[in-house]
Amino acid sequence: MSVFPKNFLWGGACAANQFEGAWDVDGKGASVPDMCTNGSHTESKWITNHIHEDRFYPSHEAIDFYHHYEEDVALFAEMGFKVFRTSINWTRIFPTGMEDVPNEKGLAFYDRVFDCCRKYGIEPLVTISHYELPYALVEKYNGWASRELIDLYFHYATTLFERYKGKVKYWITFNEINSSIMDMGAILSVGTVQGYEGPVMAFKAPEAVRLQALHHQLVASAKTVKYAHEHYPNFIMASMNIFAPFYPLTPDPEDMLAAQERTNMFCWLCGDVQVKGAYPYFAKHYFKRHNIDIKMEAGDEALLKEGTVDLYTFSYYMSNCITTHKDESSVMGNLTGGFKNPYLKASDWGWQVDPKGLRWSLHSIYDRYGIPMMVVENGLGARDERGADGRIHDPYRIDYLRDHIREMGKAIEEGVDLIGYTPWGCIDLVSASTGEMAKRYGMIFVNKFDDGTGDLSRERKDSFYWYQKVIRTNGEDLA
Ligand code: BGP
């Protein structure tokens, strides 16, 4: 007997800017990722303030889902997907983010995508904003640093609600909203990068700016959720956080306290606001201690209280260690940073693989919030090579997914309310952090490479057939 509930939502996840391509087609405007070149694990990608003809911008074609969506959704259906998490490119709907009237061609594209999903009985799970801020809003407003973005986002989100109300029920307001607690989120998430051209990794926005921008996103999210609840009672509105446990590296109580503070600020702050409806006490204390004065307007606190979510979703890739002992070697994480854990192995990109940490996370989150949860990103970014038979065998990816699914199953047996799982990049796509194609997550291989070559053909990896079996047996057969 499977431990997964009968209606468990098995599927996969992608983001518009990382797989659609067609960056300037049918009226689409430029978004932040469209201004980013490619990089690698060792060399940062750049953000540029105009398009340089001699540089390569991986989002411009990506894997061209825009013209391949029928083929791709058919492959998802063949794997047995019940749900497909994707996002809307804000600039397909509002090219600069500031128009009153939406771009009909952009809206029509997502109609086609959602109709195609529905044809196969696949439920779309839509992220409204997934690292796709219109670049014009960076130029004019310094992104989310300005309060004006709340209403611009609200107009965008409610346009989507009205258009797709009959097709989409599950909505995530912001991808990885807590990412702007980290330096890198300044560009990816809040876009407070006005006037800057240079390596993404070298960019630092002052913490006060990032946190003020985050406040605007939290208010925008709450305002949108409140509106959705009032007008579309069948919608399920979700928050989305990066969840990465921080372990104290040593039993030194100082390490314990440092890990607690990091966990509070990184893992819990946004969840507490979005699920419980108010800034937690530790955040207020942190702001005070660091002389950060978050500017709130009358009504903000009430909105945060009234716009709480129905579903807690998160990405889970790794755990990190924290120590106050400076001699340890650091390990790069997915925005999160941290120190090497001697008990864990890391991916080629240095992300520490920790399936048991996922079980720990599910318990911690459920204990704190007590609402349904979904793991909406998880997976192994790896280099795939062709075997002697010309096919792609990816046992390392199967191992990674199996170990995480097993721990999810245990957590469900132990009582947590987990309703779905959408592993990241179910089809190969452009990496968010490095801009590479070489960092592949997919169960479907896409013939596209870092120099821009490739015929964009799709092929099934071993993990495709394996995941198909997992879904067919509702997680019972993980062999
Ligand atoms: C998350 C993002 C995704 C995705 C994933 C993998 O942070 O929400 O957009 O890309 O990480 O990261 P990367 O592409 O950097 O390997």
Over 144-206, what HEC string results?
HHCCHHHHHHHHHHHHHHHHHCCCCCEEEEECCHHHHHCCCHHHHCCCCCCCCCEEHHHCCCC
Closest among 432, 441, 451, 450 to 32, alpha carbons compared: 432
Q: Provide, rounded to the nearest whole percent, the portion of the chain with pLDDT above 70.
A: 98
Query: Quick one: pLDDT band at residue 327, thresholds 50, 70, 90?
Result: low
Phi/psi of residue 87, nearest 5 degrees = -130, 165
Helices 207-231 and 148-164, axial angle in degrees (round to 10): 30
What's the gap in Å between 175 CA and the centre of ligand 1? Answer: 10
Question: Which residues have CB under 6 Å of ligand 1?
Answer: 15, 18, 131, 175-176, 315, 334, 377, 381, 424, 431-434, 439
Amino acid code (one letter) for 233:
P
Burial class (CB in 10 A: 0-12, 13-18, 19+), 134: buried
Least confident window among 96-100, 346-350, 425-429, 433-437: 346-350
- Please say if the pLDDT value at position 131 is more than 60: yes
Q: What is the mean pLDDT of residues 16-37?
A: 98
Amino acid letter for position 81: F
The 10s digit of each residue's pLDDT in 305-315 is 999 999 999 99
Whether residue 333 has pLDDT greater than 60: no
Pocket test of ligand 1: the residue of 89, 176, 334, 439 to mutate, having most ligand atoms within 8 Å of its CB, is 334
| Centroid of ligand 1 to alpha carbon of 86 (angstroms) | 13
CA distances for 381 relative to 10, 187, 265, 319, 356, angstroms = 20, 22, 27, 15, 19
Indicate if the pLDDT at residue 328 is higher than 80: no
- Give the pLDDT score at 326: 74
Where does residue 292 fall: left (phi above 0), alpha (psi -120 to 50 degrees), or beta otherwise?
A: beta
What's the rounded mean pLDDT across residues 366-394? 97
d(CA 88, CA 127): 7
Q: Are 422 and 11 in contact (CB under 8 A)?
A: yes
Please report the atom of ligand 1 found closest to the CA of residue 335.
7
Task: Check: CB of residue 156 under 8 Å from CB of residue 97.
Answer: yes
Which pLDDT value is given to residue 329? 63
Catalytic residue among 20, 61, 176, 436: 176
| Angstrom distance (rounded) from CA 236 to CA 225 | 9
377 is catalytic: yes
The per-residue pLDDT for 339 is 84
Confidence of residue 275 (pLDDT cuts 50, 70, 90): very high
If you average pLDDT over residues 341-359, what whole number do you get? 93
* Closest protein CA for atom 12 of ligand 1: 432
Can you give the pLDDT at residue 331?
64
Taking all residues of the chain, what is their mean pLDDT, rounded to a whole number?
96
pLDDT at 140 over 90: yes
Residue identifier of the C-alpha nearest atom 4 of ligand 1: 432
Q: Residues with Cβ < 8 Å from 257, sequence gap 6 or more?
A: none
| pLDDT tens per residue across span 220-271 | 999 999 999 999 999 999 999 999 999 999 999 999 999 999 999 999 999 9
Of all protein residues, whose CA lies closest to atom 11 belonging to ligand 1?
432
pLDDT digits (tens, 9 = 90+) for 67-122: 999 999 999 999 999 999 999 999 999 999 999 999 999 999 999 999 999 999 99
| Predicted pLDDT of residue 350 | 87
| Distance between Cα 432 and ligand 1 center (Å) | 5
Record the tokens describing residue 175, joined without a space: 């991808």
Separation of CA 425 and ligand 1 centre (Å): 8
Do 186 and 204 meet the contact criterion of CB atoms below 8 Å apart? yes
pLDDT at 455 over 70: yes
- Choosing from 132, 181, 431 the residue with most ligand 1 atoms within 8 A of its CB, the one to mutate for a pocket test is 431
- Does 53 qualify as catalytic in the annotation? no
pLDDT of 325: 86
Its pTM surpasses 0.95: yes
The mean pLDDT value for 364-387 works out to 97
Residue with tokens 């108010």: 278
Q: pLDDT at residue 335 above 90?
A: no
Name the residue at shortest CA distance from atom 3 of ligand 1. 432
